[in-house]
Amino acid sequence: MSQCPCQSGLAYSECCEPFHQGDAAPTPEALMRSRYSAFVTENSDYLLETWHKEYRPQTLEFAPHTQWYGLQVLSASDEEETGRVHFIATFREEGEWLQLEEKSRFEQVDGRWYYLAGETDFRALSPGRNDPCPCGSGRKWKKCCSL
C-alpha cells in the first residue's frame, strides 16, 4: 500500500483514491487534499469534475517537469454550504523550488463539495544549507537536492 500524495499519513486506497473513483468528499479539506493528489498524479478529469461549473476551465494542462513534494494545511472550515481551506504546497519546476500558498473557497451543491477559486501566492523557496530538504527526505538541504 503506497502512502497518499496528500500526506495525510493514510494509504492512497484509504484516503484520496475513493474520491478519485467517484465518492463524494465529506469536507472541503478532504476535497482539497484529493485535488492536490490529483495534481500529483495529473488526473485532469477529477480536477475538472470537482471544479464548480461556474468557475471550471474548458481544459486543464499540467506544466511539464513539475514535481509536487509537500502539502501543509494551515486551516480548514466549513459552514453549511460554503468552506475554506488555507494551504501551502511545495513543488519543483524546471529545477526551481517553489511554494504555492492558497486560500481556497468551496461550495456544496446537492451534497457534493466543489472548488470555486482561491487567492494564490507563488514564491521561490530558498532553503538554507542546514535547513531540511523540501523534498521530504529528512536530510539537510546541503546533503540532498542542492547537489
CATH for 90: 3.10.450.50
Residue 25 lies in a domain: yes
Residue 45 lies in a domain: yes
User: How large is the average pLDDT for residues 31-43?
Assistant: 97
Contact (CB, 8 A) for 15 and 33: yes
Please list the residues that pair with 72 across neighbouring strands. 88
Taking the C-alpha atoms of residue 26 and residue 139, their distance in angstroms, rounded to an integer, is: 35
Q: What percent of the chain has pLDDT over 90?
A: 78
Give the per-residue pLDDT at 72. Answer: 94
pLDDT per position as a tens digit, 5-35 = 999 999 999 999 999 999 999 999 999 999 9
* Residue 118: domain span: 12-143
Give the per-residue pLDDT at 147. Answer: 59
User: How large is the average pLDDT for residues 91-102?
Assistant: 92
Residue 6 lies in a domain: no
Residue 4 lies in a domain: no
Of the candidates 87, 86, 76, the one whose C-alpha atom is nearest the C-alpha of residue 26 is: 76
Band (pLDDT 50/70/90 cuts) for residue 146 is: confident
User: Structurally, how many domains does the chain consist of?
Assistant: 1
Give the per-residue pLDDT at 60. Answer: 93
Residue 113 lies in a domain: yes
Report the range of poorest mean pLDDT among 38-47, 105-114, 125-134. Answer: 125-134
Grid cell digits, residue 140: 539537510
Residue 53 lies in a domain: yes
Residue 3 lies in a domain: no
**Phi, psi of 14, rounded to the nearest 5 degrees:** -100, -5
Quick check: 1 pLDDT over 70? no
Q: How far is CA 42 from CA 58, 66, 76, 107, in A?
A: 16, 10, 24, 23
Residue 24 lies in a domain: yes
